[in-house]
């Protein structure tokens, strides 16, 4: 599985960081719908990919390291 992501970091009074991206199969490069991208440290937030393999996880902590893991069926 290939995971691409973007991180938007909030500053001052802006919104908290958001991680978003796409999960694709490493062999076929096809999107992976239904994959779960979850935070394994820094909290317990998660996102599930849509039919195009896209996910978004909003309101992440800015005070700890955020580490994520991807699982798919």
Report the share of the chain in percent with pLDDT over 90. 16
Residue 65 to residues 29, 41, 42, 44, 68, Cα–Cα distance (Å): 29, 7, 6, 12, 10
* Confidence (pTM): 0.72
* Token digits of residue 11: 């500053």
Flag residues of the chain having pLDDT under 70: 1-16, 42, 62-66, 73
C-alpha to C-alpha distance for 26 and 65, rounded to whole angstroms = 26
Instruction: Please report the beta strands in the chain, taking only residues with DSSP state E, as ranges in sequence order.
Output: 2-8, 18-24, 36-41, 46-48, 54-57, 67-71
- pLDDT on residue 3: 58
- pLDDT on residue 67: 72
């Amino acid at each position: 599985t290939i995971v691409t992501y973007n991180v938007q970091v909030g500053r001052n009074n802006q919104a908290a960081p958001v991680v978003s991206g796409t999960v694709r199969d490493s062999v076929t490069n096809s999107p992976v719908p239904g994959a779960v991208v979850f935070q394994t440290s820094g909290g317990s937030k998660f996102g599930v990919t849509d039919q195009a393999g896209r996910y978004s996880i909003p309101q992440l902590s800015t005070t700890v390291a955020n580490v994520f893991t991807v699982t798919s069926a």
